[in-house]
Amino acid sequence: MINFVLHRFGQTLIVLFGVTVIIFFVLRVMPGDPVGLIFGEGDDMDLGESRRLYEEQLGLDQPLYVQYAKFLGEISRGEFGTSFVRGGEPVIEMVGRALPLTIELSVFALLIALAISVPIAILSALKQNTIWDRGGTAFALIGVSLPSFWQGIMLIMFFAVWAPIFPVSGVMDAHLRIDRITGAPITDAVLTGNWEAAWSVLRHMVLPAITLGTGISGQFVRVLRSSLLEVKHQDFIDALRARGISEPTVVRHMLHNALPTTAVIIGLRIGALLSGTIVIETVFAYPGMGFLLIQGINARDFPVVQGVVVLLTAMVIAANLLADILHGMLDPRVKLSGGTGSGA
């Protein structure tokens, strides 16, 4: 196990290094730069001097390899520089406000996905080749096929415009305040006993979480149904039924044996959740990491974009590592080693 974790940690460093190279140079190659957005493209001499001074202040006048070395040095210190367009605010502070929002939204969406997919997958597996199974398969195909941004817009239209049940933007009502403890609004509201704010945050989170959750629930249904069908026809399930074991207990045994594969898929779909927040947070103006990333791209705020991308990449890799470890814990047949990853 230790060798496996160390091996994956080494792979993580290599991947993160590659991500830093790609994101750093792609941002510099893209048309436009923060100085050009601020000063425009005029030829006035005074304006040109101001541009030069501002580029020097931001460090953009230095050679690319010097800027990149500075970027790596900041990452090694747990920093990501300061924002170009927000008055020199440290990127780590901006991320510190946005990251808990994205994590809480992703957890809520994951719970919604599991609450939807597990019953449908169980029913489809137990009622194989019936109308229930076909309905579950149709739901999975629809969930996989629907674009998340379109689904978000439809939810806004139905539940915020035609039937104004849920709010469509922000984290909570403007007149409410939550004492910051963890930075996650629902968690902080519960810890401080601010139930009005907790209810407001929950209402604001419903539509984006449903959009994210239903998008991945279709994939969970397909994977869990296939795993349950494989387990369903094994001899020990027939033996349990022959011994008169109740059906709920049999289903529980089936779930236990189907979980390893599903756990790996859930870990892999964490990346889809995090990437999905980029679109969904923009659609719902939810100020998490995705919303911060889009703002940084639009403003050519290089440190913000670099910091968000590197952190999201690290989170996806960590989720995949945890999924592999969990797979090994749930399935004794899987041996984790430095050379084989999660293979048997």
Residue 12 domain flag: no
pTM attached to this predicted model:
0.82
Residue 308 domain flag: yes
For residue 274 the two structure tokens come to 């995090």
Higher pLDDT, 263 or 113: 113
185 pLDDT more than 60: yes
Question: CATH number of the domain that 303 lies in?
Answer: 1.10.3720.10
Contacts of 331 (CB under 8 A, 6+ apart): 260
Q: Tell me the residue range of the domain where 322 lies.
A: 94-330
Q: What is the pLDDT of residue 47?
A: 57
Q: 178-187: long-range contacts at Cβ-Cβ below 8 A with a sequence spacing of 24 or more? A: 182/100, 183/96, 183/97, 183/99, 183/100, 183/101, 184/100, 184/101, 184/103, 184/104, 185/100, 185/101, 185/104, 186/104, 187/100, 187/104
Q: Burial level of 246, CB count in 10 A (0-12/13-18/19+)?
A: exposed
- 221 pLDDT band, cuts 50/70/90, is confident
Residue 282 domain flag: yes
Express each pLDDT in 205-219 by its tens digit. 999 999 888 878 888
Residue of 173, 175, 169, 174 whose CA lies nearest to 207: 169
Q: What is the pLDDT of residue 342?
A: 42
What is the DSSP code string of 117-137?
Answer: HHHHHHHHHHTTTSHHHHHHH
Q: What is the pLDDT of residue 344?
A: 36
Q: How far apart are CA 19 and CA 15, in angstroms?
A: 6
Residue 109 domain flag: yes
Residue 76 domain flag: no
Residue 16 domain flag: no
Q: How far apart are CA 22 and CA 293, in angstroms?
A: 16
Express each pLDDT in 125-142 by its tens digit. 888 888 988 888 888 888
Q: How far apart are CA 79 and CA 20, in angstroms?
A: 14
Express each pLDDT in 188-210 by its tens digit. 999 999 999 999 999 999 999 99
Average pLDDT estimate for 82-106: 87
Q: How far apart are CA 148 and CA 158, in angstroms?
A: 15
For residue 48 the two structure tokens come to 């040109």
Average pLDDT estimate for 169-193: 90
Q: Please count the structural domains in the chain.
A: 1
E strand or H helix at 55, and its extent? helix 45-58
For residue 143 the two structure tokens come to 């969930």
Q: What is the pLDDT of residue 340?
A: 43
Residue 117 domain flag: yes
Average pLDDT estimate for 48-71: 78
Average pLDDT estimate for 69-79: 85
Q: What is the pLDDT of residue 262?
A: 74
42 pLDDT more than 70: no
Residue 113 domain flag: yes
